[in-house]
Structure 1
Amino acid sequence: MLAPLSWPAPARAEVEPGDLTLTVTPELNGGANPYAREMVLLRIHGVYRQPILLEEVIQPPLANFTWTQLGRDHWSKTRLPDGQTAIAFDRTVAVFPHHAGDFTLEPFIHRLTINDVGARKVVDVRSAPVPITVAPWTAPTGGPDAPEPWWLPARDVSIADSWSQDPETVKIGETVRRTVVLEAQGVVAEGLPPRPVMRTRGIITFAGPVTRETIITPSGPVARATYVWDVRPGVPEVIPLDAIAIPWFDTVSRTQREAEIPARQIGGGLPDRETGGGGTAVRSSLLAAAAGTMAFGLGLALLGFRRDRTSLRLPKAQRRALRDAARAHDPAGFRAAVSEGERANPELGRRWRQEPATAAALASLDRAVYAKDGGDAPDLAALARVLARSRPAPVAASAGRLKPLDGPA
């Protein structure tokens, strides 16, 4: 599609060699030849001394590649070595080779309508052909062509695991929801693995739909998949859930790695202490057994105290994840923990965005993680403390309701 440009520039006498240049540079992960289905970024850069009236990029056929454009085209002014100014054009395209082999990308063409001595003139600016070698997988296991395990080449992979309530407090016949969010950098959503199998003796699982999304950033796509299960224990014994390993290929270090959905236990635990009163209720029952009427009065006082302290707070796992990422000076890991916290408690996430100082710190974090040129991350340790603080719950959420005497619903 032709795009009109309104870029003020003086008319030149005529088009001279070197006035219009277009280059395509492949950006290889770790400087190594990619494997099949591994992302390669094509940086398309044009420098034009002539004033441009209209422009159209004609992309060559990419028969052996899947591709996606990352963001919009970027136009800017640039100063050349001889001191003159020119117009700079930038576009980034991510390509994913289908199989191993030696390939040559045909030239990209930038069709420009320029002002040449006051007359409109159409010029095709061509890039040079780009050779790309896709390496065969030689390791004894895995790889892009193996049906198992799933081939996941990415710059980084993170996993967030959350439960609608502490699984150790779930009783036989009750249902708890488990949500696992898998996020991979340098991958499109279609490249993420299918929902892992979560099956063990003594539980019934109902798998929900898988949601996938691709977030386009200047540094490449970020893919996110959300897997959901409803879990119901069918036996009164403690049920262990084993960890689930998800292998992935680190495209930066060129090594095979593993991400892990952590092991958990269903049943066999005390009431969730995150509710702000479960441990107190247990101690009150013990005192009641020993002291009778005195403990009964204490229990009533504590119940009233619990009603007054209704609040919004991040689960312990998310608070720990924020602290760990801050301690490691890992803005990307910190942002993933923030996203998981917002999913676990949407109302609390809205509160963060309503607090000007907190919202500004989160915006600074987003720029540091996702912006093309990055930026200075905020004080992660201080931000972790702010996000870990409890906030008062909405009045409508607790008005007119008495909590059950036997613990959390």
Structure 2
Amino acid sequence: MMHKEATGQALFHALAIIIFFLSPHTTANTLKAMEDSGHLRINSYIEPARTIVPGQRIALTLEIATTTWFTAGTKIVIPEVHNLIILQTEQFAANATETRDGQTWVIQRWTLDVYPQHAGNFSIESIAVQVQVNSGDGSNTKGSLFSPPVTFLVTLPEALSEADSWTAAPAFRVIQRFDRDLKKLAVGDAFQQIITFEAADVRAMMLPNYVAELLPGLAAYPAPPELDNSVNRGQIRAERRIQISYIAEQPGAYVLAGRDYLWWDTTRQALSLLSIPPTGFTVAGTNPARKTRPGGTLTVMSIAIGALVLAFTFLALRLAKSSLPASAWRALRAAITRATQQWSEWRKPALGTRLNPGGSDED
């Protein structure tokens, strides 16, 4: 009886093992198995596929599709490629459901922004994407998928061959404004110059900079640039805002020089020149009197008083030396020496006379 019972159990376990390996659901218990069985796919492509210039945004799309569904978040491991800036600006995928050959597919499309820094041939090898999907039998399976590599060519148009820098974008503009009218400025007045760069399909860190004008008699105090990036329904907008405060220190005529910026219109495939016009203005008034250095009068008085004290002390010592005993003369001389040293230490400033060595005497 026991022999028959053991034989039945062995047959049951053997049958369970055979069913386990032959089951179509359990063969999809790894991502590789799901790919091999046609239930999971990953693809990659770029837009635009041609006519790309340095600095232009390339949209690298990773498409992940499954016949089941995603059960956890997806993570992309951003690769590092020489002379390419690769960014993930959107934290969520574009989700869709499609029917292909009678089969329903759940799809995630992730877009990476790629900015080539030079002309040449580029290749982005397989990108690792960590996913978790339902394996089809009620359980979850997770791991890494690897996208197909993509290659593309970046060319330098003849119009940009002699240029040092440009902005490659479908839209770009430069705006200059001032916070007050510059027609009635006088010595001591202040005003602000605000320069704003705006563009599409670029990042704010890639927009041009504006360096403050250095003119004698006009002090310039630039603030750190304000950078702003935004994404709205896949549309990327960038803004760099530069604010410079000026103070008129001397009367006269001044001109803030104009600036030129090159724009490669990626839509028209054409070069344009955007300019900030020169701005001239006049500062009225008279040259301010030279400032007296703080503590200057006190320093002169201290020197005069010190000289008088030294002269009086010298005469007193001459008289005392001839009338005092030798021991008393030595004690008096030691006391005077200590008093002189203490006075010298007392009159030293607590800080250096110039906190910014090499700066202007007027600071």
* 1:168 Cα deviation after fit: 1.7
SS at match of 1:80: strand
1:156 correspondence with 2:174:
no
Partner residue in 1 for 2:227: 212
Correspondence 1:386-397 to 2 at 5 A: none
Quote the sequence identity (%): 18
SS at match of 2:209: coil
Greater Cα offset, 119-128 or 221-230: 119-128
* 1:199 Cα deviation after fit: 4.7
Contact 1:47 1:89 (C-alpha < 8 Å) held by counterparts = yes
| Distance of aligned partners of 1:32 and 1:98 in 2 relative to their CA distance in 1, 3 Å threshold | same
Contact 1:112 1:122 (C-alpha < 8 Å) held by counterparts = yes
SS at match of 2:148: coil
| Distance of aligned partners of 1:83 and 1:169 in 2 relative to their CA distance in 1, 3 Å threshold | farther
Partner residue in 2 for 1:21: 41
Partner residue in 1 for 2:107: 88
Q: Which of the numbers 134, 140, 151 marks the counterpart of 2:154?
A: 134
What is the aligned length? 251
SS at match of 2:186: coil
1:260 correspondence with 2:275:
yes
* 1:121 Cα deviation after fit: 3.4
Partner residue in 1 for 2:117: 98
| Distance of aligned partners of 1:138 and 1:158 in 2 relative to their CA distance in 1, 3 Å threshold | closer
Between the aligned partners of 2:94 and 2:247, the Cα distance in structure 1 is: 56
Q: What's the Cα RMSD here?
A: 3.2
Partner residue in 1 for 2:79: 61
| Distance of aligned partners of 1:112 and 1:208 in 2 relative to their CA distance in 1, 3 Å threshold | closer
Deviations 1:93-144 (A, max 9, x none): 101223332222122344434233234334654432211212246547544x
Correspondence 1:2-401 to 2 at 5 A: 13=25, 15=34, 17-28=37-48, 32-54=50-72, 56-59=74-77, 61-64=79-82, 65-74=84-93, 76-82=95-101, 84-110=103-129, 111-122=131-142, 124-136=144-156, 138-139=158-159, 141-143=161-163, 146=164, 150-199=165-214, 203-219=218-234, 221-233=236-248, 236=251, 239-267=254-282
Between the aligned partners of 1:151 and 1:44, the Cα distance in structure 2 is: 29
Between the aligned partners of 1:140 and 1:76, the Cα distance in structure 2 is: 39
Between the aligned partners of 1:211 and 1:202, the Cα distance in structure 2 is: 27
| Distance of aligned partners of 1:55 and 1:268 in 2 relative to their CA distance in 1, 3 Å threshold | closer
Give the number of the structure whose alpha-carbon radius of gyration is greater. Answer: 2
Between the aligned partners of 1:18 and 1:84, the Cα distance in structure 2 is: 11
Deviations 1:287-341 (A, max 9, x none): xxxxxxxxxxxxxxxxxxxxxxxxxxxxxxxxxxxxxxxxxxxxxxxxxxxxxxx
Greater Cα offset, 111-120 or 231-240: 231-240
Q: Which runs of 5+ in 2 are unaligned?
A: 1-23, 29-33, 285-363
* 1:200 Cα deviation after fit: 5.5
The TM-score normalised by the length of structure 1 is 0.53
Between the aligned partners of 1:140 and 1:248, the Cα distance in structure 2 is: 10
Contact 2:250 2:283 (C-alpha < 8 Å) held by counterparts = no
* 1:89 Cα deviation after fit: 0.6
Partner residue in 2 for 1:389: none
Q: Which runs of 5+ in 1 are unaligned?
A: 1-11, 270-409
* 1:164 Cα deviation after fit: 1.8
